Chain A
Amino acid sequence: MLKTRVIPVLLMKNRGLYKGVKFKNHKYVGDPINTVKIFNDKEVDELVLLDIEASKYNKVIDFEFIEEIATEAFMPLAYGGGIRSLEDARRLFGIGIEKIILNTSAIENMDLLEVLIRNFGSQSIVVSLDIKKSIFKKYRVYAKSASLKTRYNPIEFAQKMQDIGVGEIIINSINNDGMMNGYDLKIIKEISDTLDIPVIACGGAGKLEHFVDAIKNGVHACAAGSMFVYNGVHKAVLISYPKYERLCQLFKEK
């Protein structure tokens, strides 16, 4: 069985799926339910769904629609976006979400994080670190869909998340998002070397070899958006996912 997970990340706003570049200029790529149905047929082992406006514009979580999506998903589904309370988390697990992903709330309310871990266990709680590199090559953690800079250094913050008991960390590079030129391997390596918990690389994957680069730098799983929704240089929308055998061959597993 393949140990390395490859996870499509779907970005949602107003019940549509979008994909941007560097967390901006989001373009419509399709209907979430339809897309999940396509991923069902492609034997995707895990899917991440993020509402990119819920935190940024203080919107309430669209539970009804998320339930519709979860009902169509024949694979485990993780959701992130606008999770602010124990009650939010409880409702999400109740409608069939397997893992919840926190970003803004993890930064602003670490008490909530502890409560969630105590109630649902580490394995269900994921923190996404949206990281931006400045022109002086200094890394900082961002909140609210990359619109708010925090004072946190990503490595220290990741360590803190592990200490609190978070189950997994997604490293999401704002600079590399949508560029499809590869992950930010430097920060991936630094964080992976620091942590024992699984690290998921996100932001920048454009081809299968980028996954191998990330694995070599210590990640347990690779996530990608553009690569699985676009095709060709003109970025025509086409949902794709590599075959299981191809991934086994790629990671030289089995």
Chain B
Amino acid sequence: MITIIDYGMGNLGSIANMVKKVGGQSFITSDLNEIKKATKLILPGVGSFDNGMSKLRELDLIDILNKKVLEDKVPIMGICLGMQLMTNFSEEGKLVGLGWIDAQSKKFVSDKLKIPHMGWNIIYQKKVSKLFDELTSEKRFYFVHSYCVSCNKEEDILTKTSYVHDFVSSFERENIIGVQFHPEKSHKFGMALFKNFVEKY
């Protein structure tokens, strides 16, 4: 059972549907007690960094998430803003992030390319991961973001993607995964990724 954390940042229906489609079960909740019982988590999110952190605080979820992720080592996947919240801070906001991964979120700056980076792009794998089992050929995913993650520890980087410059499109460290793209909007590629997250984590 995957617990999808609902902190008021976007429609989570397509995530739940995709988990179901690949044979998993999920549950959307913002309830502290439900999250306490979780054995696998997804931290989704669309919106601004400070807004996301404030909502987590308002719902009193930060302490329990720290415990689940850092002490109990429950597998967690952050998607888009969810990934960025896992870093130390973002140039987008003033609040500190969850700081689970030694990284930060920086603004894309370009006078040539359009910001946000919106559309399909390719991810290049930097290390082996169960998350990409059975995804051997070109991996395409759908992106929408104006800020991107840069990791301070090379070994945390799972994939990179090129837009304006190379950026970290996903990271993985122990039980913590973050993906900048939207697997729930990336049809067969996203389905393969969710299937691996459901079955192998």
Contacts and interface: CB of A to CB of B under 8 A. Distances in A.
Co-complex (A, B): yes
Interface of A: 1, 40, 43-45, 67, 70-76, 94-96, 98, 121-124
Interface stretch (B8-16, B61-69, B172-180): B8-16
5 contacts: A1-B122, A45-B120, A75-B187, A76-B185, A94-B10
B11 A70 contact: yes
B11 A95 contact: yes
Contact of A123 (B16, B118, B120, B188): B118
Interface stretch (B31-39, B48-56, B72-80, B138-146): B138-146
A44 B116 CA distance: 22
Contact of B14 (A72, A94, A123): A72
Contacts of A70: 11, 13-14
Nearest to B191: A74
A72 B20 CA distance: 11
Contacts of B116: 121, 123
Contacts of A123: 114, 116, 118, 144
B186 interface: yes
List the 9 shortest-distance A-B pairs measured between CB atoms, nearest first: A71-B13, A96-B11, A123-B118, A74-B187, A43-B187, A95-B11, A1-B122, A76-B185, A43-B188
A128 to B, nearest CB: 18
B14 A74 contact: yes
A153 B140 CA distance: 39
B26 interface: no
Nearest to B183: A74
B190 interface: yes
B186 A74 contact: yes
A95 B21 CA distance: 20
A1 B121 contact: yes
B148 interface: no
A243 to B, nearest CB: 12
B114 A96 contact: no
A124 B18 CA distance: 24
A74 B185 contact: yes
Please classify the interface of chain A as helix (H, G, I), strand (E, B), loop, or mixed, using the class held by over half of its residues.
loop
B17 interface: yes
B11 A94 contact: yes
A71 B11 contact: yes
Nearest to A73: B14
A199 B122 CA distance: 23
Nearest to A44: B187
Contact of B138 (A1, A74, A76, A122): A1
Interface string B1-30: 000000000110110111001000000000
A96 B13 contact: yes
Contact of B185 (A67, A73, A121, A122): A73
A98 B11 contact: no
B160 to A, nearest CB: 15
B184 interface: yes
Contacts of B138: 1
Contacts of A124: 118
Given A67-B13, A71-B16, A74-B21, 4 more contacts: A45-B120, A70-B14, A74-B184, A75-B187
A73 B121 CA distance: 19
Given A43-B188, A94-B11, A122 B114 contact: yes
Nearest to B114: A123
Interface in B157-201: 184-188, 190-191
Nearest to A123: B118
B185 A40 contact: no
B82 to A, nearest CB: 15
Contacts of A122: 114
A44 B190 CA distance: 13
A75 B16 CA distance: 14
